[in-house]
Structure formats: structure tokens, C-alpha cells
Chain A
Amino acid sequence: MADRDEWMRGGPAPHNPQGTPAPQRHVPPPPPAGPLPGLRADEGLRASGVPKGGVPGAGRLLRWRGIGRLDGGLVPQARLSGPTPWVIAIMVALTVIAAAMGLVLRHIAAEAAAELTGGVTIQILDASPSGRQTQAEAALRVLRAQAGVGQARQVPQAEVDRLIAPWLGADTMADRGDQDIVPVPALIDVRLEGAVDAPRLNTLRAALQQVAPAARVDAQSDWLGPVFGAIESLQWLAAAVVALLALALAAAAVLATRTALGAHRATIEVVHLMGGTDSQIARIFERSIGWDAAIGGLLGFGFAVGVTLFLGRAFAALGAGWLAVGALQWNDWLVLTLVPIAAAVITMLTARLSVIAALRKIL
């Protein structure tokens, strides 16, 4: 001990030649100084009841449990006073609106397709009203005798006039002599049993050639092909917007998690050194951002529902046929409610993966 004291005073290191018996280690005497106020040496550890070396089976528990009620406390959250819930709310609102648009368009396309399946329009293009009518009546007779024709009716002149009035004006149809001011073809609306295809159209054309040479036969779906194409494009656009917003949401979650990780790095390191597993630490952030996503998701969903209902009523008031049939059904609303849930899942999963990736860079 004298050598040791000498070394501590700055002297040479004590000599310990090989073979010299190792210094005896003694139990230190009780500390001469009095304990800290209220300190009862050794008793605290005995009373703790925590076995030496940690809690048996804690490793198993750790895989399934968080850090109890500390989850919220370890990473204090700004909630609505922070940006994350608002960013998520905006993302969710835009996603719900885009998804609602996509669903409405899907309904419109489906309804229109159902309506036009088997639809054929026959125009009698004759300048003479009497000749037109004669050919139309002959064509109707032939059509009704054809196999596979479900229904054939001539569109009443009044209905035709009403259709073209917005473009040509009502006065053009006022004078009904032998010559129209503007010749308008007679229209025959035909419903075939089953879908319309080129051979069936050719059969109809051949059948009408004799009795109504001025007849022009067209599938109704051909006229609306570009409209269907446009609707399909809009549907893809809506799906792409939803996918992009999901990616943006994941990116926002990564940023929020990285910010939180940076802000609480010291705490995370301490928990890590206490034996906290990556999974436990990830769960803290996962739950924290999960709450943000839940709050933001509810806000965004509420806003989007309001907007969707408002727009739905506004379009319904137009009385336009296809817009009316595009109204959202209950199962559509069910799909839309999945958006905030999916947003919460995406953000939580992203947060978890980001935290685990970041922790793997720490020992």
C-alpha cells in the first residue's frame, strides 16, 4: 500500500516482480464518513427485490412489450402544436378526395358501359322529312323481325328537337313543311341482346340496305369511346395521385422520425445502454407518430368528407344523368375510411423501419 500511495503522490510505479504473491484484497472497512442524509447504505438494494443481473425472462418480455407508460414520456410530443399531425391531415384529405374522385369516375364509367352495351343508333340521313319517315318505319319493321334485336324504337321528333335545341335553337325546327330549315336525321335507338360487335353491325347494315338506303348504323359505344378513354385516364390519374400521396406520407413520416431521433438522441442512447432493444425503441417512435397519424388522419378525413359531400350535392343539383349515377355508395365510404387507417399504418411502419435503420448505425 505504501508503494501505491507513493505512486499516487507522483513517485515511481511499484515493483511487482514475477513470482511475487499477488496483493491480498481486503474487504474495505465501512465508510468513515456519514451517509448522505436519509441514506441507509445497502438497504435500498436489498429492498429493491430486483435480482442481480436483471429480471429473469426480461429478454422475452422485451420482444413483446413497449416501455410501459414511458412510451409517451420518453419522446414528448407536440401533437397539434407540432407540424406532423397537420402534414398528415393534409395528405389524408387530398388522398380521400382523390380516391373519392376515382370511385365516382369508376361508377360513371361502369354505368355508362352497362347502358351502352348492346346499344346501336341508326340515323336516316334523308333531306326529305317524308322520305326520312318512310325509311324509318321500314327500317323499324325490318329491325323488329331481326333475330337478336331486343328493342327498337324511333326517337320521337320532339325528343330529337329538345336534344339539338341548345345548339341550333328552337326556331330552326319551327317550320315543318316538306323541307326542314335544318335537316335533322331520324333516329332509331336499337338494343341488341348481348354485346355489339362488327359482324352484328354488318348484318344490320345489310338487312337495312334494301328498305332504308339512307340508314347509317353505328354502335353507341363507338361514339363514346374517347369519353371512356378520358374517364379511364382520370381514374388512373386518381390512382396515381393516391399512390404519390402515400409515398409523400411515408417520406413525411421518415422526416418526422429522423427529426425526433435527432432531438432525442441522448435519451435513445441511454435507453440503448440500459439494454433497450431496437424493437423497443422503435416502438416508442412508432406509437408516437401513430398518435400523430391518428389525430391528423381524423382531421383530414373529416375535412375530405365535408368537401366530398359538398361537391356531391353540387353536382347532383345539376341533374346531369351520369353525374347523378356516380354518387358514392356505402361501400365506397367504407373504402374511404380505410385511407386514414392506411395512413396510420404507413406512417407507423415507416417510422419503425427508419428507427431500426438508424439504430443499426449505433452499436
Chain B
Amino acid sequence: MSGPGGAPAYGEIAQFENVGLRYGPDREVLADVAFTLFSGSFYFLTGASGAGKSSLLRMLYLAQRPTRGAIRLFGQDAITLPREGLPGLRRRIGVVFQDCRLVPHLSAFDNVALPLRVAGVPEKDIARPVADMLEWVGLADRMADKPASLSGGEQQRVGIARAVIGRPELLVADEPTGNVDPDMAIKLLRLFEALNRLGTTVVVATHDVHLLKKVPDSLIMRLDRGRLSDPTGALRYPPRRSGVAPAGGPHGG
């Protein structure tokens, strides 16, 4: 495992402590969730449908605030951070949605270019990286196509390209293979692995346990009715290489 440039990197990317989430007056959909994500690791978040995976990820990519507990992202307290500070954190996170959420009236090129334009990159500096990125996901010849004319797998690849075009430090994918056939699911997983090799921390939510085998060294978090368990011990004993200690030490889950 190495970070960008080959340097080992095991800094803490995200920390959840006693996080609980409740929608309205009902019982908590997530309770006492605590874990630490380390830089450069590959995590699977698994659990049955309705276990709270999407809710947990929404908090991770700052679309939702918890009702209790503490969340630190990239060393900053995401709970007390002023609203104006959130875009800066969000720009360090790439999100892949199950339903892709591509902008329907924009071409594949413009969808992938969107994060760069949001970040204020000049137009002259956009064409090349976007073209490269679409080529990287095998869609060099579909740049001008609108999402409606792309297959589910192609749409998801555009979604992945869009999520990683800004070189996020953390990539969060919520059931990214849910709408594609098994072959395409494997291919999408290979893309996530390739990104992870470049140092991006990847969190993939899936309820498909067969997918977990495809990334042998991944770390697994399991949600069961709103509570996080640590079946592989990866959360209690975070990854480290010989001679490189994890930045924050083990955290219970």
C-alpha cells in the first residue's frame, strides 16, 4: 500500500465517534457508529438492504448531518465546521451513486467536466483531462452522448469518471454495481482498485457479498440494523505496513 508518489500513507481520512442518526421521532437508523478510515485503504461497507449503508455514506460525503456523535474528515470537525467550509471538504470527496445521477441534458464530456468547472478550472485546462478520463473508463468515443443514450454500465463509468476527475482523496460509492450486470460490476470494481492503487481511499457500499472476494485485501465494515460490526477486525486493527504505524491507532467499531 502506498500513497501518491509511492510514499506510504496511512493518515486518518475520516473518524466517526458514537454517531447516531434519526429521521424524525422514529428510532435511530444508525446507532453508536464508530470507525476510522485510513488513507489509501479499500473498504467495503456491507449489510442487508435497509441496514443504513446509504445513510452512513451520506454522512461520510457530507450530504447529511448526524443527530449525535462526532465526525472528523481530513482532520476537521465536520459537525462544527461552518457551512462555508463544507464545499472545501466536499471537493476532496468523490461520490458514485447507484443511480449515477448524471445531469440528463449534459453530454458525457460535460458531466465529467462538471467538478472541474465547479472548482473554477479554466475552460482551456478542462478538455484534455476530461478526454483522458473518459478514455480511461473506455468511453472515448461516447463523449458527446447524453446519458439517455448510454447503457447502465456506461452511465456508471461516466459517474465514476466524474467522481474522480478532481483527484479526490476519498471515493465513496453507494451500491455502484447495483444496476449493472455481474461482468460490468467486476470491471467497475477494477476501476476502483486502480484508483486505490493511486492512493485514493475507496469506500464501496454493497449488499453483494460475492463482490467482496474480488478485492482480496479490502477491509470490511458490516452494518446490521444500524449498528456497525467489524467482522474482519480491520476497524479495530487498522492497516499498517511494517515500520509504518497508523496515525490514529485502532478504533473500536
Contact = CB atoms under 8 A, between A and B. Distances in A.
Contacts of A20: 233, 237
A60 to B, nearest CB: 8
Interface in B125-182: 125, 128-129, 132-133, 135-141, 157, 161, 164-169
B217 interface: yes
Interface in B196-253: 196-199, 209, 212-213, 215-217, 219-220, 229-234, 236-242, 246, 250
A145 to B, nearest CB: 82
Interface stretch (B14-22, B25-33, B47-55, B58-66): B58-66
Given A14-B231, A28-B215, A48-B129, A280 B118 contact: yes
Nearest to B46: A8
B90 A273 contact: yes
B63 A58 contact: no
A306 interface: no
B164 A45 contact: yes
Interface size class of A (residues with CB under 8 A): 35 or more
A47 B129 CA distance: 6
A35 interface: yes
Nearest to A73: B106
Contact of B194 (A26, A42, A269): A42
Interface stretch (A64-72, A111-119, A132-140, A153-161): A64-72
A51 B90 CA distance: 15
A33 B187 contact: yes
B88 interface: yes
Nearest to A35: B190
B105 interface: yes
B51 to A, nearest CB: 16
B69 to A, nearest CB: 15
Nearest to A281: B118
Given A8-B209, A67-B118, 6 more contacts: A28-B197, A38-B139, A41-B190, A52-B4, A67-B114, A274-B114
Interface of A: 1, 3-5, 7-8, 13-14, 16, 20-28, 31, 33, 35-45, 47-55, 58-59, 61-62, 65, 67-70, 73-74, 76, 266-267, 269-278, 280, 360, 363
Q: Which 6 pairs, one residue from A and one from B, show the smallest C-beta to C-beta distance?
A: A44-B136, A61-B120, A25-B239, A16-B233, A22-B237, A275-B91
9 contacts: A14-B231, A22-B238, A23-B232, A23-B237, A28-B42, A33-B186, A50-B166, A67-B114, A270-B101
